[in-house]
């Protein structure tokens, strides 16, 4: 079936193509009679005319599209939706963008895939990159003439806007809470510990809390794998095999903690009677876990909303200064920590 064009609408109404365009785009510089406006909209409905967004973007140089890139930092792993953190973040990004008249282009990238090719080939008004590390690919984005927002990245480059939290302080707060409740044999469970990464910062906070309390660091109590439910189960087995007799653990992500609870339950280890847990993120599932998780809360949805707003402000040139937004964190007390203070 032939696509209805703006010229078809103009012929139907008996006006020029320009007049139809003025009506559809609410052009402020033209005065179109109420009768003509009504007849144009009537013809649009009857003919089922849908504006050609590609043509419109060529004229305006805007696509009303925001690109969201999730770098694949662990080769061979599936896409991010196994971690509820990403679901909550992307939901907030999509909703905020949609309400502002934007659409999303969501893509993951392989470890050797260029960000710049994605940006250039898809034509977007702005780019949000989640959880990236310093790399050649990221440096290439400096040449893209659209705003770029980095979420949860410790890249500090004046070419990019950044949104994040103080992950080191979060790690210190979580570990200190366990220490304050009488625990001294404390494990640390996380994804891979890469320099300038979120996990590494939370690990630094763990170490800082131990040092502050005068507790000797034991590297055998560090369990690093991947940030997913399955590794949480594996970490439970590793704990049993290493025999370090931990009484508590700081887990760098809620999804890992849920897997750990599952794995420990299968081994007959009770939470929190045998092992107390503080995790990180406060995803919505953390309160549904049994027991519900004491965790470091960050406002995941606000991260997404802020990222979209930064893109919109920068694209509209209402905000020229590169923005660095550090969002607050709090500790949410639930049921996964036992008080062992005497």
CA 128 to CA 149: how far, in whole Å?
A: 5
* DSSP label of 168: H
- Average pLDDT, stretch 46-60? 62
- Better-predicted residue by pLDDT, 116 or 203: 203
Strand partners for 298: 329
Q: What is the mean pLDDT of the chain?
A: 86
Output phi, psi for 2, to 5 deg.
-70, 135
Other C-beta atoms within 10 Å of 237: how many? 13
Express each pLDDT in 306-328 by its tens digit: 999 999 888 777 556 788 999 99
- Average the pLDDT over 247-266 and give the result: 97
Model confidence pLDDT, tens digit, residues 192-223: 898 888 999 999 999 999 999 999 999 999 99
167-180 and 198-212 are packed helices; what angle lies between their axes, rounded to 10 degrees? Answer: 40
* pLDDT, tens digit, 9 for 90 and up, residues 16-51: 888 888 887 665 556 788 889 889 989 888 888 876
Where does the chain have alpha helices with state H?
6-13, 17-24, 34-47, 53-60, 84-99, 115-122, 136-140, 167-180, 198-212, 229-242, 254-266, 300-315
- Domains observed in the chain: 6-51 (1.10.260.40), 65-166+300-327 (3.40.50.2300), 167-298 (3.40.50.2300)
pLDDT in tens, 122-172: 578 889 999 877 666 677 777 777 889 999 998 888 889 999 999 999 999
**The pairing of beta strand 294-298 with beta strand 329-332:** antiparallel
Q: Is the pLDDT of residue 105 over 60?
A: yes
């Amino acid at each position: 079936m032939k696509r209805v064009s703006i010229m078809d609408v103009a012929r139907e109404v008996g006006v020029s193509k320009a007049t139809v365009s003025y009506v559809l785009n609410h052009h402020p510089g033209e005065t179109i009679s109420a009768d003509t406006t009504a007849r144009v909209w009537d013809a649009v409905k009857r003919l089922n005319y849908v504006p050609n967004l590609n043509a419109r973007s060529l004229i305006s140089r805007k696509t009303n599209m925001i690109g969201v890139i999730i770098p694949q930092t662990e080769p061979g792993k599936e896409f991010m939706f196994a971690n509820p953190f990403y679901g909550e973040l992307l939901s907030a990004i999509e909703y905020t963008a949609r309400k502002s008249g934007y659409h999303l282009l969501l893509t993951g990238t392989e470890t050797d895939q260029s960000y710049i090719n994605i940006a250039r080939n898809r034509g977007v008004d702005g780019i949000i990159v989640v959880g990236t590390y310093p790399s050649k690919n990221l440096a290439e984005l400096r040449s893209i003439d659209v705003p770029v927002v980095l979420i949860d990245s410790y890249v500090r480059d004046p070419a990019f806007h950044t949104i994040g939290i103080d992950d080191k302080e979060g790690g210190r707060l979580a570990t200190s809470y366990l220490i304050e409740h009488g625990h001294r044999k404390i494990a640390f469970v996380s994804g891979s510990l890469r320099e300038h990464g979120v996990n590494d910062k939370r690990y630094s906070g763990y170490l800082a809390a131990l040092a502050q309390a005068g507790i000797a660091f034991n590297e055998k109590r560090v369990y690093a794998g991947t940030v997913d439910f399955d590794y949480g189960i594996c970490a439970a087995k590793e704990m049993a095999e290493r025999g370090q007799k931990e009484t508590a653990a700081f887990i760098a992500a809620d999804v890992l903690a849920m897997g750990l609870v599952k794995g420990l339950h299968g081994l007959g280890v009770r939470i929190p009677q045998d092992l107390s847990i503080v995790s990180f993120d406060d995803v919505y599932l953390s309160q549904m876990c049994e027991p519900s998780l004491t965790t470091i809360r960050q406002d995941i949805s606000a991260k997404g909303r802020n990222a979209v707003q930064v893109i919109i402000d920068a694209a509209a040139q209402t905000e020229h200064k590169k923005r660095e937004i550090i969002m607050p964190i709090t500790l949410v007390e639930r049921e996964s920590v036992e008080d062992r203070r005497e």
